[in-house]
Structure 1
């Protein structure tokens, strides 16, 4: 009975140590961003939409598509060629359009989901909407 408890404790320690030594899965991107993934517009006038284009390159050996682009709010609209297949070593682009209705600082996040990836690639736009004179 006592040796059974010791044996169970020993195996529990081994399993725990194996769990601690395992490395988390590494997110390997299938794209290389050719433009910075964040853009600061600085001061922009109220009620004047602004946009930024983010360019990427398919660095994988497989064709790539953009499955979805999700933004942090409705004031930021993404545009991309839906269904366009980006072949290896070819480029594509994501356009983010910000509708500047509310004065003040803004920081908006978009996540781009490519085919075969569960984790989205982050794009950021920010700036300050100033009142028109």
Structure 2
């Protein structure tokens, strides 16, 4: 039974055809944050292929969301992470998407940050 739970968890954390498994949530609730005060979120992942992988690009839903990542290849079984800086200029609820484009992977990985920006 524990094997089934672990297998289901791995399937839940990675997309079909995905070259990575996320080592934490892919949707992060930031709660209430202050306007013009950057908040940082780290998304760790593991390369689950038999080859080194690289991130070609990361795109975000607005200019208030800025990604940082290593351009170095991630060896099979190794881990790396993506750092997201969210710096809101407007108040109110937000839900921002992040798309991670891994070399030779058909679909991008999808990440989200959401919360409420206060004055």
TM range (shorter): 0.7 to 0.9
CA offsets, 1:66-96, max 9 Å, x none?
11101011110010012x1100000010111
Partner of 1:17: none
Which structure has more strand as a fraction of its residues? 2
1:103 aligns with 2:110: no
Aligned to 1:121: 109
* TM-score (norm: length of structure 1): 0.76
**Matched residue pairs, number?**
105
Separation in structure 2 between the aligned mates of residue 73 and residue 118 of structure 1, nearest angstrom:
23
**Which residue in the other structure is 1:35 paired with?**
24
Range with bigger deviation, 94-103 or 49-58: 94-103
Q: Distance in 2 between matches of 1:103 and 1:93?
A: 28
Structure 2 counterpart of 1:64 = 53
Unaligned runs of 5+ in 1: 1-25
Which residue is 2:35 aligned to? Answer: 46
Q: Structure 2: 5+ residue runs without aligned partners?
A: 1-14
Structure with greater helix share of residues: 1
Name segments (4+ residues, structure 1) moved above 4 Å: none
Q: Could you state the TM-score of these two structures normalised by the residue count of structure 2?
A: 0.85
